[in-house]
Amino acid sequence: MTNIRDIFISLFGSKPILSEAPGRINLIGEHTDYNNGFVLPGAINKKARFAIGLNKEAVFRFYAADLDKHYQTKTIDRAPIEFSWANYLLGVLAQFQKAGKSFTGIDCVFDSNIPIGAGLSSSAAIECGFAKGLDRLLLSDIQPLQLVKMAQKAEHEYAGVMCGIMDQYASVFGKNNHVLLIDCRTNKHTYVPFQMNNLSIALCDTKVKHELASSEYNIRRQECEQGVSILQQLNPDIKSLRDVDTKYLEMHKGLFRPSIYDRCHYVAIENQRVQDACRNLENSDFTEFGKLMYQSHDGLKNRYEVSCKELDILVDLTKPMESVYGSRMMGGGFGGCTINLLEKEAEEQFHQTITDGYKSQTGMEPDIYFVELTDGANVIPDEP
Protein backbone atom coordinates (compact mmCIF):
# COMPACT_ATOMS: atom_id res chain seq x y z
CA MET A 1 0.00 0.00 0.00
CA THR A 2 1.12 3.54 -0.71
CA ASN A 3 2.28 6.21 1.75
CA ILE A 4 -0.93 8.20 1.78
CA ARG A 5 0.42 10.72 4.31
CA ASP A 6 3.21 11.81 1.99
CA ILE A 7 0.90 11.86 -1.02
CA PHE A 8 -1.54 14.06 0.90
CA ILE A 9 1.20 16.52 1.86
CA SER A 10 2.49 16.69 -1.71
CA LEU A 11 -1.01 17.26 -3.12
CA PHE A 12 -2.46 19.63 -0.54
CA GLY A 13 0.50 21.06 1.38
CA SER A 14 -0.80 20.38 4.88
CA LYS A 15 -0.57 17.66 7.52
CA PRO A 16 -3.53 15.22 7.59
CA ILE A 17 -5.42 13.15 10.12
CA LEU A 18 -4.80 9.45 9.44
CA SER A 19 -7.42 6.74 9.88
CA GLU A 20 -8.17 3.21 8.76
CA ALA A 21 -10.95 0.65 8.72
CA PRO A 22 -10.95 -3.08 7.94
CA GLY A 23 -12.94 -5.20 5.58
CA ARG A 24 -14.93 -7.96 7.14
CA ILE A 25 -15.73 -11.62 6.86
CA ASN A 26 -18.95 -13.22 8.00
CA LEU A 27 -18.53 -16.71 9.38
CA ILE A 28 -22.24 -17.48 9.21
CA GLY A 29 -25.53 -15.58 9.10
CA GLU A 30 -25.99 -14.35 5.54
CA HIS A 31 -28.90 -12.10 4.51
CA THR A 32 -30.18 -12.18 8.09
CA ASP A 33 -29.04 -8.68 9.05
CA TYR A 34 -31.72 -6.75 7.17
CA ASN A 35 -34.28 -9.17 8.62
CA ASN A 36 -33.43 -8.10 12.20
CA GLY A 37 -31.66 -11.40 12.77
CA PHE A 38 -28.26 -12.58 13.97
CA VAL A 39 -24.90 -12.46 12.22
CA LEU A 40 -21.39 -13.57 13.16
CA PRO A 41 -18.84 -11.35 11.38
CA GLY A 42 -15.28 -10.33 12.19
CA ALA A 43 -12.92 -7.60 11.01
CA ILE A 44 -9.94 -8.75 8.95
CA ASN A 45 -6.39 -7.58 8.30
CA LYS A 46 -7.21 -6.07 4.90
CA LYS A 47 -7.95 -2.38 5.22
CA ALA A 48 -8.77 0.97 3.69
CA ARG A 49 -6.56 3.85 4.93
CA PHE A 50 -7.18 7.58 4.85
CA ALA A 51 -5.39 10.91 5.07
CA ILE A 52 -7.92 13.68 5.64
CA GLY A 53 -7.69 17.45 6.11
CA LEU A 54 -9.69 20.66 5.93
CA ASN A 55 -9.26 23.20 3.15
CA LYS A 56 -10.40 26.81 2.80
CA GLU A 57 -11.29 26.47 -0.87
CA ALA A 58 -14.90 25.36 -0.22
CA VAL A 59 -14.24 22.30 -2.38
CA PHE A 60 -14.11 18.55 -1.82
CA ARG A 61 -10.99 16.98 -3.30
CA PHE A 62 -10.53 13.20 -3.28
CA TYR A 63 -7.67 11.07 -4.56
CA ALA A 64 -7.96 7.28 -4.72
CA ALA A 65 -4.27 6.36 -4.65
CA ASP A 66 -4.68 2.69 -5.56
CA LEU A 67 -6.78 3.65 -8.59
CA ASP A 68 -4.77 6.82 -9.38
CA LYS A 69 -8.06 8.71 -9.77
CA HIS A 70 -8.90 12.27 -8.72
CA TYR A 71 -12.39 13.64 -8.10
CA GLN A 72 -13.29 17.21 -7.17
CA THR A 73 -16.65 18.83 -6.52
CA LYS A 74 -18.11 21.89 -4.80
CA THR A 75 -21.36 20.17 -3.85
CA ILE A 76 -22.19 17.03 -1.92
CA ASP A 77 -24.17 15.50 -4.75
CA ARG A 78 -23.79 12.01 -6.17
CA ALA A 79 -20.78 11.64 -8.42
CA PRO A 80 -21.03 10.39 -12.03
CA ILE A 81 -20.83 6.63 -12.51
CA GLU A 82 -17.20 6.75 -13.65
CA PHE A 83 -16.33 8.08 -10.18
CA SER A 84 -18.63 5.72 -8.27
CA TRP A 85 -15.98 5.25 -5.54
CA ALA A 86 -16.37 8.94 -4.62
CA ASN A 87 -20.00 8.34 -3.64
CA TYR A 88 -18.97 6.46 -0.52
CA LEU A 89 -17.09 9.56 0.68
CA LEU A 90 -19.78 12.00 -0.44
CA GLY A 91 -22.41 9.88 1.29
CA VAL A 92 -20.52 10.09 4.57
CA LEU A 93 -20.08 13.86 4.19
CA ALA A 94 -23.83 14.16 3.64
CA GLN A 95 -24.52 12.32 6.90
CA PHE A 96 -22.16 14.59 8.83
CA GLN A 97 -23.89 17.57 7.27
CA LYS A 98 -27.30 16.22 8.31
CA ALA A 99 -25.93 15.77 11.84
CA GLY A 100 -25.20 19.50 11.94
CA LYS A 101 -21.43 19.27 11.61
CA SER A 102 -19.98 22.27 9.79
CA PHE A 103 -17.15 22.23 7.25
CA THR A 104 -16.37 24.19 4.13
CA GLY A 105 -13.94 21.97 2.27
CA ILE A 106 -12.37 18.54 2.76
CA ASP A 107 -9.31 16.94 1.21
CA CYS A 108 -8.85 13.18 1.27
CA VAL A 109 -6.32 10.67 -0.01
CA PHE A 110 -7.12 6.99 0.48
CA ASP A 111 -6.11 3.55 -0.64
CA SER A 112 -7.22 0.00 0.07
CA ASN A 113 -5.93 -3.54 -0.22
CA ILE A 114 -9.41 -5.03 0.18
CA PRO A 115 -10.35 -6.84 -3.03
CA ILE A 116 -13.24 -5.04 -4.72
CA GLY A 117 -16.30 -7.11 -5.53
CA ALA A 118 -15.15 -10.06 -3.46
CA GLY A 119 -17.80 -9.70 -0.74
CA LEU A 120 -15.35 -8.38 1.86
CA SER A 121 -17.18 -5.07 2.29
CA SER A 122 -14.61 -2.77 0.76
CA SER A 123 -17.34 -0.11 0.54
CA ALA A 124 -18.12 -0.31 4.26
CA ALA A 125 -14.42 -0.01 5.07
CA ILE A 126 -14.21 3.14 2.95
CA GLU A 127 -17.30 4.62 4.61
CA CYS A 128 -16.24 3.73 8.15
CA GLY A 129 -12.59 4.68 7.79
CA PHE A 130 -13.50 8.04 6.29
CA ALA A 131 -16.16 8.62 8.95
CA LYS A 132 -13.70 7.78 11.74
CA GLY A 133 -11.11 10.22 10.40
CA LEU A 134 -13.69 12.90 9.73
CA ASP A 135 -15.02 12.55 13.27
CA ARG A 136 -11.54 13.24 14.66
CA LEU A 137 -10.84 16.02 12.16
CA LEU A 138 -14.06 17.86 13.04
CA LEU A 139 -13.83 17.00 16.77
CA SER A 140 -17.38 15.70 16.49
CA ASP A 141 -17.13 13.02 19.20
CA ILE A 142 -19.78 10.89 17.51
CA GLN A 143 -20.42 7.59 19.28
CA PRO A 144 -19.32 4.44 17.42
CA LEU A 145 -22.84 3.07 16.86
CA GLN A 146 -23.94 6.39 15.40
CA LEU A 147 -20.94 6.31 13.06
CA VAL A 148 -22.04 2.85 11.96
CA LYS A 149 -25.54 4.10 11.18
CA MET A 150 -24.20 7.13 9.31
CA ALA A 151 -21.96 4.91 7.18
CA GLN A 152 -24.89 2.60 6.47
CA LYS A 153 -27.04 5.56 5.41
CA ALA A 154 -24.25 6.68 3.08
CA GLU A 155 -24.44 3.30 1.35
CA HIS A 156 -28.23 3.49 1.08
CA GLU A 157 -28.44 7.03 -0.23
CA TYR A 158 -25.32 7.42 -2.34
CA ALA A 159 -24.47 3.87 -3.50
CA GLY A 160 -28.10 2.76 -3.84
CA VAL A 161 -27.56 -0.53 -2.00
CA MET A 162 -30.04 -1.12 0.82
CA CYS A 163 -27.53 -3.04 2.95
CA GLY A 164 -28.18 -4.17 6.48
CA ILE A 165 -26.04 -2.93 9.33
CA MET A 166 -23.58 -5.83 9.57
CA ASP A 167 -20.82 -4.62 7.24
CA GLN A 168 -20.36 -1.21 8.82
CA TYR A 169 -20.88 -2.61 12.32
CA ALA A 170 -18.10 -5.18 11.94
CA SER A 171 -15.77 -2.61 10.39
CA VAL A 172 -16.16 -0.31 13.40
CA PHE A 173 -16.50 -2.76 16.30
CA GLY A 174 -14.12 -5.52 15.17
CA LYS A 175 -11.80 -7.00 17.82
CA ASN A 176 -8.57 -8.94 17.47
CA ASN A 177 -9.06 -12.74 17.77
CA HIS A 178 -12.82 -12.36 18.19
CA VAL A 179 -15.96 -12.46 16.10
CA LEU A 180 -19.08 -10.46 16.90
CA LEU A 181 -22.48 -11.97 17.55
CA ILE A 182 -24.62 -9.05 16.43
CA ASP A 183 -28.31 -8.80 17.22
CA CYS A 184 -29.47 -6.71 14.28
CA ARG A 185 -32.75 -5.87 16.00
CA THR A 186 -31.20 -4.21 19.02
CA ASN A 187 -27.89 -3.24 17.34
CA LYS A 188 -26.02 -4.76 20.25
CA HIS A 189 -23.24 -7.29 20.15
CA THR A 190 -21.26 -9.72 22.21
CA TYR A 191 -17.70 -10.77 21.43
CA VAL A 192 -17.13 -14.47 20.85
CA PRO A 193 -13.49 -15.57 21.22
CA PHE A 194 -12.04 -17.16 18.11
CA GLN A 195 -8.52 -18.28 18.91
CA MET A 196 -7.23 -19.39 15.53
CA ASN A 197 -4.13 -21.25 16.82
CA ASN A 198 -4.05 -24.26 14.48
CA LEU A 199 -6.85 -22.95 12.26
CA SER A 200 -6.85 -20.81 9.16
CA ILE A 201 -9.54 -18.77 7.45
CA ALA A 202 -9.21 -18.80 3.67
CA LEU A 203 -11.14 -16.60 1.27
CA CYS A 204 -11.45 -17.86 -2.30
CA ASP A 205 -12.42 -15.17 -4.78
CA THR A 206 -14.35 -16.42 -7.80
CA LYS A 207 -13.17 -13.30 -9.68
CA VAL A 208 -16.68 -12.90 -11.04
CA LYS A 209 -19.46 -10.55 -10.07
CA HIS A 210 -22.60 -11.16 -12.06
CA GLU A 211 -24.56 -8.09 -13.15
CA LEU A 212 -27.71 -9.00 -11.24
CA ALA A 213 -25.96 -8.98 -7.85
CA SER A 214 -27.17 -5.56 -6.62
CA SER A 215 -30.65 -5.77 -8.14
CA GLU A 216 -31.27 -9.28 -6.81
CA TYR A 217 -30.05 -8.23 -3.37
CA ASN A 218 -32.74 -5.56 -3.24
CA ILE A 219 -35.32 -8.03 -4.60
CA ARG A 220 -34.51 -10.47 -1.78
CA ARG A 221 -35.18 -7.72 0.74
CA GLN A 222 -38.53 -7.05 -0.88
CA GLU A 223 -39.41 -10.75 -0.92
CA CYS A 224 -38.69 -11.01 2.80
CA GLU A 225 -40.85 -7.94 3.44
CA GLN A 226 -43.67 -9.57 1.46
CA GLY A 227 -43.34 -12.65 3.65
CA VAL A 228 -43.57 -10.54 6.80
CA SER A 229 -46.70 -8.79 5.46
CA ILE A 230 -48.39 -12.19 5.01
CA LEU A 231 -47.39 -13.30 8.49
CA GLN A 232 -48.63 -10.07 10.06
CA GLN A 233 -52.14 -10.92 8.88
CA LEU A 234 -51.91 -13.93 11.18
CA ASN A 235 -50.18 -12.14 14.03
CA PRO A 236 -49.63 -8.35 14.05
CA ASP A 237 -46.85 -8.80 16.62
CA ILE A 238 -44.62 -10.30 13.93
CA LYS A 239 -42.37 -7.39 12.93
CA SER A 240 -39.71 -9.29 10.97
CA LEU A 241 -38.60 -12.80 10.08
CA ARG A 242 -36.69 -12.77 13.36
CA ASP A 243 -40.04 -13.39 15.05
CA VAL A 244 -40.81 -16.73 13.38
CA ASP A 245 -39.28 -20.19 13.28
CA THR A 246 -39.46 -22.88 10.63
CA LYS A 247 -42.26 -24.79 12.39
CA TYR A 248 -44.52 -21.72 12.30
CA LEU A 249 -43.72 -21.16 8.63
CA GLU A 250 -44.47 -24.79 7.77
CA MET A 251 -47.86 -24.54 9.50
CA HIS A 252 -48.83 -21.71 7.15
CA LYS A 253 -46.92 -22.74 4.03
CA GLY A 254 -50.06 -22.60 1.88
CA LEU A 255 -50.27 -18.81 2.27
CA PHE A 256 -47.00 -18.20 0.44
CA ARG A 257 -45.83 -18.33 -3.13
CA PRO A 258 -43.08 -21.00 -3.24
CA SER A 259 -40.28 -18.45 -3.74
CA ILE A 260 -41.45 -16.26 -0.85
CA TYR A 261 -41.75 -19.30 1.41
CA ASP A 262 -38.23 -20.41 0.50
CA ARG A 263 -36.77 -16.99 1.31
CA CYS A 264 -38.51 -16.88 4.70
CA HIS A 265 -37.61 -20.48 5.54
CA TYR A 266 -33.94 -19.86 4.79
CA VAL A 267 -33.78 -16.75 7.01
CA ALA A 268 -35.53 -18.46 9.92
CA ILE A 269 -33.20 -21.46 9.92
CA GLU A 270 -30.08 -19.36 9.28
CA ASN A 271 -30.81 -17.35 12.43
CA GLN A 272 -30.84 -20.62 14.38
CA ARG A 273 -27.59 -21.70 12.72
CA VAL A 274 -25.84 -18.53 13.94
CA GLN A 275 -26.77 -19.27 17.54
CA ASP A 276 -25.75 -22.91 17.19
CA ALA A 277 -22.44 -21.78 15.66
CA CYS A 278 -21.66 -19.61 18.69
CA ARG A 279 -22.11 -22.59 20.98
CA ASN A 280 -19.79 -24.60 18.73
CA LEU A 281 -17.11 -21.90 18.99
CA GLU A 282 -17.46 -21.70 22.76
CA ASN A 283 -16.88 -25.47 22.87
CA SER A 284 -14.12 -25.36 20.24
CA ASP A 285 -16.19 -27.81 18.21
CA PHE A 286 -15.04 -26.85 14.74
CA THR A 287 -16.33 -30.05 13.17
CA GLU A 288 -19.93 -29.13 13.99
CA PHE A 289 -19.24 -25.49 13.15
CA GLY A 290 -18.05 -26.55 9.70
CA LYS A 291 -21.20 -28.59 9.11
CA LEU A 292 -23.25 -25.48 9.73
CA MET A 293 -21.20 -23.59 7.14
CA TYR A 294 -22.00 -26.21 4.51
CA GLN A 295 -25.69 -26.15 5.50
CA SER A 296 -25.70 -22.37 5.20
CA HIS A 297 -24.32 -22.57 1.66
CA ASP A 298 -26.91 -25.18 0.71
CA GLY A 299 -29.66 -22.84 1.92
CA LEU A 300 -28.22 -19.85 0.09
CA LYS A 301 -27.99 -21.92 -3.09
CA ASN A 302 -31.35 -23.68 -3.03
CA ARG A 303 -33.67 -21.64 -0.79
CA TYR A 304 -32.42 -18.09 -1.14
CA GLU A 305 -31.07 -18.58 -4.67
CA VAL A 306 -28.16 -16.15 -4.48
CA SER A 307 -25.29 -18.47 -5.29
CA CYS A 308 -23.82 -19.10 -8.75
CA LYS A 309 -21.92 -21.81 -10.60
CA GLU A 310 -18.50 -20.43 -9.64
CA LEU A 311 -19.29 -20.24 -5.92
CA ASP A 312 -20.74 -23.76 -5.94
CA ILE A 313 -17.62 -25.12 -7.64
CA LEU A 314 -15.38 -23.62 -4.95
CA VAL A 315 -17.50 -25.06 -2.14
CA ASP A 316 -17.77 -28.50 -3.77
CA LEU A 317 -13.99 -28.66 -4.24
CA THR A 318 -13.50 -28.54 -0.46
CA LYS A 319 -15.83 -31.40 0.41
CA PRO A 320 -13.35 -34.27 -0.18
CA MET A 321 -10.59 -32.42 1.74
CA GLU A 322 -10.19 -33.81 5.26
CA SER A 323 -8.31 -30.69 6.36
CA VAL A 324 -11.33 -28.44 5.64
CA TYR A 325 -14.00 -28.08 8.33
CA GLY A 326 -16.48 -26.03 6.34
CA SER A 327 -17.04 -23.76 3.36
CA ARG A 328 -19.78 -21.48 2.08
CA MET A 329 -20.41 -18.47 -0.09
CA MET A 330 -20.10 -15.16 1.71
CA GLY A 331 -21.70 -11.81 0.98
CA GLY A 332 -24.60 -10.79 -1.23
CA GLY A 333 -24.03 -13.57 -3.73
CA PHE A 334 -23.76 -14.07 -7.51
CA GLY A 335 -19.97 -14.00 -7.27
CA GLY A 336 -17.43 -12.79 -4.77
CA CYS A 337 -15.81 -15.09 -2.21
CA THR A 338 -16.27 -18.30 -0.37
CA ILE A 339 -15.09 -18.48 3.23
CA ASN A 340 -13.35 -21.63 4.36
CA LEU A 341 -12.25 -22.93 7.75
CA LEU A 342 -9.31 -25.33 7.61
CA GLU A 343 -6.28 -26.64 9.44
CA LYS A 344 -3.42 -24.17 9.28
CA GLU A 345 -0.84 -26.74 8.27
CA ALA A 346 -2.91 -27.52 5.16
CA GLU A 347 -2.82 -24.00 3.68
CA GLU A 348 -0.42 -24.85 0.88
CA GLN A 349 -2.27 -28.01 -0.10
CA PHE A 350 -5.59 -26.15 0.04
CA HIS A 351 -4.25 -23.38 -2.20
CA GLN A 352 -3.00 -25.86 -4.80
CA THR A 353 -6.09 -28.08 -4.79
CA ILE A 354 -8.55 -25.20 -5.08
CA THR A 355 -6.51 -23.40 -7.73
CA ASP A 356 -6.14 -26.50 -9.91
CA GLY A 357 -9.74 -27.62 -9.50
CA TYR A 358 -11.28 -24.20 -10.15
CA LYS A 359 -9.07 -23.56 -13.18
CA SER A 360 -9.94 -26.91 -14.71
CA GLN A 361 -13.67 -26.21 -14.42
CA THR A 362 -13.81 -22.48 -15.21
CA GLY A 363 -10.58 -21.60 -17.00
CA MET A 364 -9.86 -19.01 -14.30
CA GLU A 365 -7.47 -18.99 -11.35
CA PRO A 366 -9.13 -17.91 -8.11
CA ASP A 367 -7.50 -15.37 -5.84
CA ILE A 368 -6.98 -16.99 -2.43
CA TYR A 369 -6.35 -14.98 0.74
CA PHE A 370 -5.56 -16.24 4.22
CA VAL A 371 -6.83 -13.66 6.72
CA GLU A 372 -6.66 -12.95 10.44
CA LEU A 373 -9.18 -11.34 12.77
CA THR A 374 -8.26 -7.80 13.76
CA ASP A 375 -9.47 -4.60 15.42
CA GLY A 376 -12.01 -2.21 13.93
CA ALA A 377 -11.77 1.33 12.58
CA ASN A 378 -9.38 3.66 14.33
CA VAL A 379 -7.39 6.87 14.04
CA ILE A 380 -3.72 6.22 13.35
CA PRO A 381 -1.20 8.16 15.48
CA ASP A 382 0.82 10.42 13.19
CA GLU A 383 4.58 10.44 13.02
CA PRO A 384 6.32 12.99 15.31
Low-confidence ranges of the chain (pLDDT < 70): 1, 211-212, 383-384
Give the separation between CA 115 and CA 336, rounded to whole angstroms: 9
Beta bridge partners of 205: 337, 367
Residue 167 designated active-site: yes
Q: What pTM, to 2 d.p., does this model score?
A: 0.89
Number of domains into which the chain is organized? 1
138 is a domain residue: yes
DSSP string, 171-215: HHH--TTEEEEEETTTTEEEEEE---TTEEEEEEEEEEE-TTHHH
Chain-centroid distance of CA 99 in Å reads 25
24 is a domain residue: yes
177 is a domain residue: yes
Res 161: pLDDT? 79
Chain-centroid distance of CA 92 in Å reads 17
Burial (CB count <10 Å: 0-12, 13-18, 19+), residue 226:
middle
351 is a domain residue: no
Query: Count of CB atoms within 10 A of residue 265's CB?
Result: 22
94 is a domain residue: yes
Instruction: List CB contacts of 303: < 8 A, sequence separation 6 or more.
Output: 262, 263, 265, 266
Full domain range(s) for residue 174: 4-195
Q: Are 240 and 183 a contacting pair, CB within 8 Å?
A: no
330 is a domain residue: no
Q: Please, what's the b/e burial string for 41-53 (b: 16 or more CB within 10 A of its CB; e: otherwise)?
A: bbbbebbbbbbbb
142 is a domain residue: yes
Options 33, 107, 111, 167, the catalytic residue: 167
Res 383: pLDDT? 66
Res 231: pLDDT? 97
Res 54: pLDDT? 97
CATH number of the domain where residue 171 is located: 3.30.230.10
Res 1: pLDDT? 57
186 is a domain residue: yes
